[in-house]
Structure 1
Amino acid sequence: MSNHNTSDIIEAYLKKILEDSEIIEIRRTEMAEQFQCVPSQINYVINTRFTIQRGYVVESKRGGGGYIRIEKIKISDKHRFLEQVNELFDERLSEKDALGIIQKLYEEQIVTKKEGNLLLATLAKNTLRGFAEEEQIRATLLHAILERLSYEDRK
């Protein structure tokens, strides 16, 4: 349980820094020392909570002068953003990745909370459980939804 809590704290810390700056560079070992955890926990947080589906681009360089750069994606054109999200996955989509995409659509005010919850219910594992190609159906549905949203005139 403490690992989960530490991960939440690390995530909150990095997001707070990203509020003031769209790009940050960190050193894994320095972060691990600061939060008194193993460096792999820093990797875990970055790999699971700073994904493209959640609106972040991560670049890393290993070695002595290595760093991890996290950049918050700038969204200026909702139509282009929706196209980019649609290109993130092909014919299969896990429930976890669908959740991340829907969360980002909500954060960017492309869907309301109610619409997001309806999408979550539609794409949930429990909803699609009886189908042999659950991930394929989820991907097809989300592609259709994103395409429709990209042509909808939203204010």
Structure 2
Amino acid sequence: MSSISDIIERYLKKILNESDSGVIEIKRSELADTFQCVPSQINYVISTRFTIEKGYIVESKRGGGGFIRIQKVRLKTPRDTFEDLLQKIGDHIPQITAEHVISRLLEENLMTPREALLMRRLVSRETLQLPIPLRDQMRARMMRMMITTIFTSKGE
């Protein structure tokens, strides 16, 4: 059974995919009414599932005429995507951000579900049992190498 967060995420992605412009504007309160949840649930879904690492830009305006604008980042070439991902990873990356990057690769069909599972397990804190600064640096090095391998194997 899906959680309310999963249902809201699927709904937002569906209307985003149906949008010709690749941008949607929603009202937090109206969406909360639609799904019979509190507005903070909408905030949670947007802040955790529509991140820049996952390939989304979110803009929010509060107040009476407030809205939330969600835009799917569409990069022109696989090379642009590759460079964007390497830039987001940087020299260190926490586990949650790494998981967002992996989700983006999976959603954009740049890796298989099996590859995503392997990558998640490899960069998990359970695998990388090191002190935090070193763990985040090691995770970034591993992510950069795996992403380079994925893009190289796809002809880039």
Q: TM-score range by the shorter chain?
A: 0.7 to 0.9
TM-score normalized by the length of structure 1: 0.85
Q: Which residue is equivalent to 1:142?
A: 143
Q: Cα RMSD over matched residues? A: 2.2
2:9 corresponds to which of 8, 11, 27: 11
Q: How does 1:77-96 map to 2 (within 5 A)?
A: 77-96=77-96
* Cα pair 1:110 1:154 within 8 Å, conserved: no
Are the equivalent residues in 2 in contact too, given 1:92–1:139 (CA < 8 A)? yes
CA displacement 1:6-43 (0-9 Å, x = unmatched): 21221111111112011100011111122221111110
Aligned counterparts of 1:9 and 1:150: Cα–Cα separation in 2: 32
Aligned residues: 152
- Structure-1 separation of matches of 2:154 and 2:5: 38
Structure 1 runs not aligned, ≥5 long: none
- Report the secondary structure of 2:37's partner residue: coil
The equivalent residue for 2:72 is 72
Matched, 1:50 2:31: no
Aligned position for 1:154: 155
User: Tell me, what secondary structure is at the counterpart of 1:54?
Assistant: coil
Amino acid at match of 1:73: V
Equivalent position amino acid for 1:34 in 2: T
The DSSP-based 3-state class of the residue aligned with 2:120 is helix
Q: Aligned with 1:128: secondary structure?
A: coil
Is this contact kept in 1: 2:89–2:98, CA < 8 A? no
- Residue 69 of structure 2 aligns to a residue whose secondary structure is strand
Supply the distance in 1 between the matched residues of 2:64 and 2:91 (Cα, whole angstroms): 39
Give the percent of matched residue pairs that are identical in Structure 1 and Structure 2. Answer: 43
1:127 aligns with 2:127: yes
Aligned to 2:37: 37
Partners in 2 of 1:14 and 1:134 — Cα distance?
Answer: 34
Deviation at 1:58, TM superposition (A): 0.7
